[in-house]
Structure 1
């Protein structure tokens, strides 16, 4: 191997590594295993989290805007109270009536202007009774604008029969509800609400949300149809919002509330336990990275410390020939960087191989992969940077020790 074109420090560093081939291979293998663990765990946790979040958000927006709740009021004794008596009060929880978000069009326009927001979809929802012959079921009625709502919830992908195209005379029902009522695409159902409004709609499609309860109670109609049935002319009961960064949903929700005064609930606040579990996973992943990096650092440092002892005579001769202490330090720093860099590349390849085998061998009960395999270039860049920095840091102490060797003592030692 011709290395005459390399700087002097590189030539010496590579020669030291080649002369100790066995220990070099062992430390590269150790670094590779550490990096493989980091790559595997990071990609696995990322894939599992992506899958969990996709399932949670498959049937809801990142943020939901709701009208303010009715406030409590005091029922006082008034004129019947005698002078000097303390007036008693009874707190009565008010009935939460179905009502629209005030000036929702202006609110929606204001929210759409926020750079973090992608889609704002108005929804008119409430309770209804669906009737077919002598059979009836209480359902959740959801009125939507398909062009907007389907960008929040990908309902067309959940259609198992028919289509997701909605007109004012059509509706979508879940698989459980269709089975209970014995209906299929094209059949008609009568919808009625508590205020006495009713209408007859044809079934345009049957969907499967992946949840038996939701499939048995959810129905979708056009926004205008729901507004008519729920006595909400031109009104909406909620708005679903999607944002660019799902993990920033809570921050965006607080900004929306501060700017508009409308209550905004993010998926993070409504799924607090899940988000806590995700945070715990990230913390455990960081802990794994730290301890793996620490073990790699100790391994590299111990090997280079041995090299300093083994090569002390050579180091003394080089110092006697006029090599500076800085050059000696760079020789050992380069060894640490090379060991970490080669181990990182090997570890990344090993981690990817294990990930592919794991994904092919472990599946969900329905046969689908347990997690989505997402190999982001940033992950390998981070692994390489972490390993290289760790290698350089581990080599620092042996390098300083080698640079401080007295040439005369080293040669005669």
Structure 2
């Protein structure tokens, strides 16, 4: 088998076999480093994905809103000289439910933008729901199920009933259903601040994973909400999802610049959460860098010792006509093989650690804390990183070996 290998590989393998203990220790060190990279990367990626999934499955990436009413001066007054002066009292305006001007054209324009996936107009506002002597303040969200449920996955959160939404249907949260003592098929009386009253049938009960949301959030057909909230033909906001969630703020600014409509991205409305996500990404990168650096120094130190130990052999090889380039490649092959072997063992250790985590790290109800995706790309990237690190770390010792004078090396 060895006769088919290049000369550099034969010598490199022989040097590694002769220093078995050194080889074993450095491979073990690389394996531990790669295992840490694989485990921490998968763990932090899963944690980050779980956080984002919890936040973004209940809201759109971008929300387009109508302009807010501005503060105004309350009337005027006449002074003793008969001069009319503005009153110094400024009244904060009441933010009424308003429709986005020409929302159909805005929705069409946003839908055509690159990176935009779903555009769903909605009509939302506050109302009062009554059943017998019990009443609760609720948030009514009028939606087109075919579009909106691609943004907020309400069908996946259903506890009972269906997601059917005709003009007389209504979906409510589990806590609101408990408070009012209703179930699927019961009727509720919904009234708006303008005095519009409608009787709607509960067709489904959902659980959004948040008690406040389950107590207030309700879904109706968009036409029902328009009638109830006095938005005939209008919508109060437009929900947008994009392909790259981290580009949401850039796309939101582009929407505002193009359409003139205020656009808030999830990054702007969840600034602290986004900062935490970025901190996790930074910590993951930092861990990889320092682990890779320690692996590089470990490989370099072992190969420096190997050059010193093998200086006589190197001198003999050079005297026999071996070129400097071949000597250089001998030690580069050693570095690459050490990185490759360590990464293979480390990937196995990292995968085993991930399996143990998924098995024993559980919620009180027995479900996993969050899903961990052990993607093949992570193992491939770790393997390539460790191998490349081995080659880079081996360069300085290899260069030193190639520059050895044969006569000096043989004499010792």
Which structure 1 segments of 5+ residues have no match? none
Measure, in 1, the Cα distance between the counterparts of 2:205 and 2:186.
11
Measure, in 1, the Cα distance between the counterparts of 2:397 and 2:81.
91
TM-score scaled by length of structure 2 = 0.96
Measure, in 1, the Cα distance between the counterparts of 2:180 and 2:317.
90
Measure, in 2, the Cα distance between the counterparts of 1:91 and 1:402.
82
Equivalence for 2:301? 302
TM-score scaled by length of structure 1 = 0.96
Equivalence for 1:14? 13
The equivalences for 1:258-297 within 5 A come to 258-297=257-296
SS in structure 2 opposite 1:151? coil
Q: 1:157 to 1:249 in 2, by over 3 A?
A: same
How far residue 92 of structure 1 moved from its aligned partner, in angstroms, is: 2.9
Measure, in 1, the Cα distance between the counterparts of 2:154 and 2:90.
43
Which structure 2 segments of 5+ residues have no match? none
How far residue 376 of structure 1 moved from its aligned partner, in angstroms, is: 2.3
- How many pairs were matched up? 412
Matched, 1:100 2:99: yes
Task: Provide the aligned C-alpha RMSD in A.
Answer: 1.8
How far residue 287 of structure 1 moved from its aligned partner, in angstroms, is: 1.2
Equivalence for 2:339? 340
**8 Å CA contact 1:44, 1:371 repeated in 2:** no
Equivalence for 1:350? 349
How far residue 333 of structure 1 moved from its aligned partner, in angstroms, is: 0.9
Matched, 1:41 2:40: yes
Measure, in 2, the Cα distance between the counterparts of 1:76 and 1:291.
66
**8 Å CA contact 1:76, 1:89 repeated in 2:** no
SS in structure 1 opposite 2:149? helix
Equivalence for 2:149? 150
How far residue 57 of structure 1 moved from its aligned partner, in angstroms, is: 1.2
How far residue 385 of structure 1 moved from its aligned partner, in angstroms, is: 2.3
The equivalences for 1:370-389 within 5 A come to 370-389=369-388
SS in structure 2 opposite 1:37? helix
Equivalence for 2:210? 211
Equivalence for 1:119? 118
How far residue 388 of structure 1 moved from its aligned partner, in angstroms, is: 1.8
**8 Å CA contact 2:77, 2:87 repeated in 1:** no
How far residue 83 of structure 1 moved from its aligned partner, in angstroms, is: 10
Equivalence for 2:390? 391
- CA offsets 1:352-403 (integer angstroms, 9 cap, x no match): 1100110110012332211212122322222122212211121111111111
How far residue 165 of structure 1 moved from its aligned partner, in angstroms, is: 1.1
**8 Å CA contact 1:27, 1:300 repeated in 2:** yes
- CA offsets 1:245-288 (integer angstroms, 9 cap, x no match): 11211111111111111111111111111111111111111111
